[in-house]
Amino acid sequence: MKTTRLLYVIAACIAFLPGVSFAQADIHFSQFYETSILRNPALIGVSADNYKVSAYYRSQWSSITNPYQTLLIDAEYRFSLGRMSQDFLSIGVLGYSDEAGDLDQKISGVYPALCLNKLIDANYNAYLSLGFTCGFLNYSFDPSKATFNNQFQGGVYSPFNASFENIPNPKMSLVDIGSGLNFNFSPNDQNSGAYVLGVSGYHFSQPSFSYDKTPGYVQNIRWNVNADMVHDLGRSFAFQIHANFAQQGAYNESVFGGLIGWRVADDPFSRPDFEFDAGALYRMNDAIIPVVKLRYKSLAVGVSYDVNSSPLKEASNTQGGLEVTLTVSGQFPPNGDYKKKVCPRFF
């Protein structure tokens, strides 16, 4: 195998990592509504709580090959721009590590982000948010785990046979710039419903993938549209709907679905101590995704599983990916004011 062929193999691993969207090396999660910075940086701070810390774990395609595993941690915090101001500034940071394939292809990234939440209508609690993020990414693989034609002698492989390959530097770094705009509002004073609509773009820096320092594969801009809604059904029940559409070059992804929630609250103006949500999402032409989420006070745990419905189901036996999210959110400093919040409360 020539060096150029090795590079093509590595590029293919990057392009078609399950859990990576649109053949463009973008990681994604089935519970996409939980990952603000990677979905739209203008979603930072769009929450009833002013702080949120989350961890995400995803394991995919274990029935086909070595599991593709992704771990992500993020944190965000919103604060007022002035003592009497109803405008807010939100800051956040996200870090992740993604590992897959026989060559231990690894992608790690850090995305600091900043968002301005501007009040545009106090009567409807309506906010327009503008967000920015700049990601720093590192790619690597383990060349010692690669095999080459020259290492097969008489049809038998030996790692001690010389490969006669000039293997490139197994590491590269990229910079990724993204920005987004988001509008959200609550239609009544009790904040019993909330609506969100936004658009964002990533890879404005047009990073180039190349391990050998020559001009390589240029990553297309990814455009993203997010839409969400939550509404109370009396004091004990609520429903929420989430949708996300992304397009990158010739590829696109559409995910949508909803959850029904049951909660226990003694005081209608205080945050419910307990809430249980269940529902399903659908990733078009790929998977049906059952989801459950349990929240007790400030701690929430979500679990989903991709039931593969694409032609790959013959090889995967419909087994896609397990995903677990853990979130801690609240008010700091505590203010006890749940009745009237500046933003929707379902994230």
Question: Which sign does the torsion angle of CA 146, 150, 152, 155 carry?
Answer: positive
Distances (CA, A) of 328 to 34, 195, 282: 12, 23, 26
Q: Is residue 120 part of a domain?
A: yes
**Which class for 283: exposed (0-12), middle (13-18), buried (19 or more C-beta within 10 A)?**
buried
Q: What is the pLDDT of residue 117?
A: 93
155-192 core/surface letters (b: 16 or more CB in 10 A; e: else): eeeeeeeebebebbebebebebebbbbbbbbbeeeebb
Q: What is the pLDDT of residue 22?
A: 37
Q: Is residue 338 part of a domain?
A: no
Type of residue numbered 35: T
| Residues of the chain with confidence (pLDDT) below 70 | 1-25, 61-67, 164, 188-191, 213, 266-270, 310-320, 335-347
Q: Is residue 342 part of a domain?
A: no
**pLDDT tens-place string over residues 199-248:** 999 999 888 777 776 777 788 899 999 999 998 888 889 999 999 999 99
Q: Is residue 101 part of a domain?
A: yes
Cβ within 8 Å of residue 9, ≥6 positions away: 1, 103, 146
Listed residue (344, 319, 339) closest to 268, CA to CA: 339
The neighbouring-strand residues paired with 256 are 243, 282
* 3-state SS, residue 7: helix
Cβ within 8 Å of residue 335, ≥6 positions away: none
Q: What is the pLDDT of residue 311?
A: 56
Q: Is residue 346 part of a domain?
A: no
Whole-angstrom distance, CA of residue 163 vs CA of residue 75: 45
Q: Is residue 336 part of a domain?
A: no
Q: Is residue 243 part of a domain?
A: yes
Q: Is residue 340 part of a domain?
A: no
Residue 66 belongs to domain with CATH number: 2.40.160.40
CA atoms within 13 A on the CB side of 205: 15
Number of domains in the chain: 1
**pLDDT tens-place string over residues 38-91:** 999 999 988 888 899 999 999 876 555 566 789 999 999 999 998 888 899 999
Its domain, for residue 130, covers 3-330
